[in-house]
Amino acid sequence: MPIAHPIDFANIFELAPIGMCVSQNRRISACNQALAAMFGYTQDELLGQSFLVLYPSSDEFERTGARIVPIINATGSYSDERIMKRANQELFWCHVTGRSLHVNDVHAEGIWTFDDLSAKRKVSQELSTREREIAALLVDGQTSKMIARNLNLSPRTVEMHRAKLMKKLKATTSSELINKLLRIS
């Protein structure tokens, strides 16, 4: 009978091919090499840092933090595709997935994964913070009304930003806009 070897979870975490971290109150308490490399930091530079350093703006950090809470409370986990920021200030698309380790306090402690999508999807540098945020939600399949509810905006404001996105990306239809945002077209 073969001898069972204990599973080395610390080594699995460190060598995972995807960025991973553990958070406490929206600060990075542990991260693997893949996460540090993806964002252009060393692991030591990220430990203890607020997730704010990984966001393009403090507004996006705050709004995402607020958006996460009801979704995790309702479903137990959170997932989206959003624009993040590397140490060199380069913006890139990232798929983020996570879950809270505390039922009553979503941000108290969590486990998060980050997958760099920059090889598949490029960021348009001319987009404003709000346009990037709305673009991320459009790519996620949300309607203008859903985006308005999520961001506490009026549907008309979302439509105004959507129209600006269409003009900037030279899209004539909503599906063309989504394709351009995904860089499929």
Residue 2 maps to a domain: no
Number of domains, the chain: 2
Closest C-alpha among 78, 56, 81, 50 to residue 66: 78
Torsion of CA 74, 76, 81, 87, to 10 degrees: 120
Domain boundary residue, one of 123, 142, 173: 123
Determine what percent of the chain falls in helix, strand and coil, rounding each to the nearest 5.
45, 20, 35
Domain boundary residue, one of 74, 102, 123: 123
Alpha-carbon distance of 68 to 78, in angstroms, equals 7
Verify that 119 and 130 share a domain, yes or no: no
* Domain containing residue 91: CATH number: 3.30.450.20
Element (H, E) at 36: helix 33-39
The CA distances from residue 162 to 14, 61, 127, 143, in Å, are 40, 21, 11, 11
Verify that 129 and 115 share a domain, yes or no: no
| pLDDT (0 to 100) of residue 185 | 34
Domain enclosing residue 103, as ranges: 7-123
| pLDDT (0 to 100) of residue 124 | 66
95-130 pLDDT, tens per residue?
999 999 998 899 999 999 999 998 887 776 677 778
Helix (H, G, I), strand (E, B) or coil at 173: coil
Query: Taking the CB of residue 103, how many other CB atoms lie within 10 A of it?
Result: 10
Domain boundary residue, one of 123, 143, 175: 123
Verify that 51 and 71 share a domain, yes or no: yes
Verify that 117 and 152 share a domain, yes or no: no
Helix (H, G, I), strand (E, B) or coil at 118: coil
**CB of 72 within 8 A of CB of 79?**
no
Cα torsion 121, 126, 129, 133: sign: negative
pLDDT averaged per 10 residues, the chain (length 185): 81 95 97 98 97 93 91 93 93 94 92 93 73 83 86 86 83 80 57
Verify that 107 and 173 share a domain, yes or no: no
Verify that 131 and 148 share a domain, yes or no: yes
